[in-house]
Structure 1
């Protein structure tokens, strides 16, 4: 908290990093840019150091924890009992990938890459994620060259509003990092089927029926103005890509 205050951070936005909302939003963006389908459970936040990335972050049938191949996950830098993870990746980024052939799997071994016990999955990572320094390059690329650093290729993932506590009719939602809801990642097809309320629009909407803690909020749970430009655009997106 002291570091956040010294850095002039918005307390509610800072809290959205702690409750998992920002991870859900960012991994939804990655899912849509890379056409990766989120896990049915969302994000598991496993406690995992860099040496265990290829062992844990592969499909269950291969000995890992993931629902499927071609998905996204965030690792925790703390064990469940709050002990620090050995060689954590708190500040970094990574990608885990499968060898497409026996030749590539052999190269994993020959070049000394970290692998799972089967030797079929490996990981590359950076210990730092310098977003404040990298952002300027993306802005300049977009402004000067019309070149996007990343852009959505599909609607594969969605970050949806989920109740932090039991919500009663008449209460107002206060968005990411607030007291009422947090963002949870889910496959876009599941979000569309449930008529889920996106976390990005869960601001200043009134609850019109009880919602239990940890339940996904739907459009039917809230009062909203269908003519609001942001909501109208979202509804158009659901109709177009759902």
Structure 2
């Protein structure tokens, strides 16, 4: 980190900065703006939201004077403001695409169709793209990653988000010489697959969250999406549809996440999963065949083995994203990418009885929740990835509660870029 600090200070002294366009000024976006304000040589030069006052308020809270904030949807005025080192607030995400002074985009919207369009446009304009929007990555990440490599830019998930934090641990484990068996996260909220946004409305507002976002946390969809990102990065699959989701603690988890033949719950190793009792942390389970390594792990109070827990008891979400921004722009390195392809998918399950002819609402709604499944099984059963649902998705027929919804059950909006990217991804076998 001191290397990052030193290089950014050198950039700042030379009159240069990493300039970022941040799209989506919700809880994560506000935190990122305020964190970047403390870092020399990096700034959120353009802040975009459909409610621009949110961006203005976030910048002022970060210590930016109102005189240094320019609201505009004009690219020429934005360029003029950047040359004067002002901060720009806009409703138009495309405002920074053609501006040479903007080095990278950060998507903090959590909206899959919009995220696909933003990433597509950023990459084609040769801008690095940092995805706090793991929802998009989980369904079309492999094709976006391929496009980014072809355009010479970085496409990446972020440090601080659970998938990025898990990958840091996995990288440490493998780099240290351990064999990686399980990669996972603690579940922050209770699990209720049938919760609705109406039931969580007051809690969501009190926490500064959109009700649908909190709903997707509690109904498990968000956890499934995050584990899909990890799956696509490592090549690991869920052991069972939806994962085991065991109740545990740091002392017992390495035994529980072992094979059934060893007294655990697993049919297979090299899997992704989640656990209650480990939140807000992330973890990996590792092993070694070497006697000397096992002896040293015992000496270090890491347990009797043969499986061992490596555990990070926190993740700081967007507050860690500046490190990913620096790595992408200066070091040309990603935090987490779906380099193994579409290994898993989050498919769609009915929360209630649904009627044919109705529009289908997606993540965090009253209609559906998501479960992780291997991509091979998703293809075999023709199941609907939940992140392909948008406001125009219509049911062809009635669906019973708890049924898995197939692609044949719905009419998708084929005009959306996310749909076209998924089709191309499938054609290429990514």
Do the two structures share a fold, i.e. TM-score over 0.5?
yes
Shift of 1:107: 2.4
Mapping of residues 139-154 of structure 1, within 5 Å: 139-154=325-340
Query: In 2 relative to 1, CA 142–206 (structure 1 residues): closer, same or farther, beyond 3 Å?
Result: same
Q: 1:196: which partner in 2? A: 383
Aligned residues: 228
2:429 is matched with 241
In 1, Cα distance between equivalents of 2:289 and 2:395: 49
Q: Deviations over 1:79-138 (max 9, x none)?
A: xxxxxxxxx3221111111223333222221221034xxx21010112111113212211
Matched, 1:126 2:312: yes
Q: Select the structure of larger CA radius of gyration.
A: 2
| 1:39/1:187 contact within 8 Å kept | no
Structure of higher RCO (CA pairs closer than 8 Å, 6+ residues apart): 1
Whole-angstrom CA distance in 2 between matches of 1:153 and 1:18: 29
Q: Deviations over 1:174-224 (max 9, x none)?
A: 111101111100111111111111111122211101222222211101012
Separation of aligned partners in 2, 1:132 and 1:69: 31
**2:277 paired with 1:91:** no
- As a proportion of its length, which structure holds more helix? 2
Paired residues of 2:389 and 2:412 also in contact (CA < 8 A):
no
Residue of structure 1 equivalent to 2:397: 209
Give 4+ residue runs of structure 1 displaced > 6 Å after superposition: none
Confirm or deny: 8 A CA contact 1:95 1:123 kept in the other structure: yes
Question: Taking structure 2 as the reference length, what is the TM-score of the superposition?
Answer: 0.50
2:272 corresponds, among 72, 77, 86, to 72
Partner of 1:80: none
User: Do residues 221 (structure 1) and 409 (structure 2) align?
Assistant: yes
Is 2:235 the counterpart of 1:35?
yes
**Aligned counterpart for 1:100 among listed residues 274, 286, 289:** 289
Tell me the CA shift for residue 149 of structure 1. 0.4
Q: Deviations over 1:123-164 (max 9, x none)?
A: 011211111321221123223333210101222111111111
3-state SS of 1:13 partner: helix
Range that drifts further, 144-153 or 101-110: 101-110
Deviates more, 1:149-158 or 1:136-145: 136-145
Q: Kindly provide the CA deviation profile for residues 49-87 of structure 1, in whole angstroms up to 9, marking residues without a partner as x.
A: 1111101112222211123100011101xxxxxxxxxxx
Structure 2 Cα separation of the partners of residues 227 and 216 of structure 1: 24
Whole-Å Cα distance in 2 between the matches of residues 61 and 133 of structure 1? 42
CA contact (8 A) 1:162 1:217 kept: yes
Over the aligned positions, Cα root-mean-square deviation in angstroms equals 1.8
Equivalent residue in structure 1 for 2:213, among 3, 9, 13: 13
Q: Where in structure 2 are there 5+ consecutive unaligned residues?
A: 1-199
Question: Are the structure 2 counterparts of residues 212 and 240 from structure 1 closer, same or farther at C-alpha, using a change threshold of 3 Å?
Answer: farther
Cα 1:164–1:64 shift into 2, 3 Å: same
The 1:206–1:48 alpha-carbon spacing in structure 2 relative to 1, beyond 3 Å, is same
The question of whether the paired residues in 2 share the 8 Å contact of 1:168 and 1:209 is answered with yes
Matched, 1:112 2:272: no
Partner of 1:172: 359
SS at match of 1:132: helix
> Tell me, what secondary structure is at the counterpart of 2:360?
strand
Q: Quick check: 1:163 aligned with 2:363?
A: no
Match of 2:302, SS state, is coil
How many angstroms apart in 1 are the aligned matches of 2:421 and 2:324?
25
Decide whether the 8 Å contact of 1:38 with 1:71 is kept in 2.
Answer: yes
Question: C-alpha separation between the residues in 1 aligned to 2:322 and 2:211?
Answer: 24
Q: What is the TM-score of this pair, normalised by structure 1?
A: 0.87
Contact 2:241 2:371 in 1 (8 A): no
For residue 182 of structure 1, the aligned residue among 332, 349, 369 is 369
* Uncovered stretches (5+) of structure 1, i.e. residues with no partner: 77-87
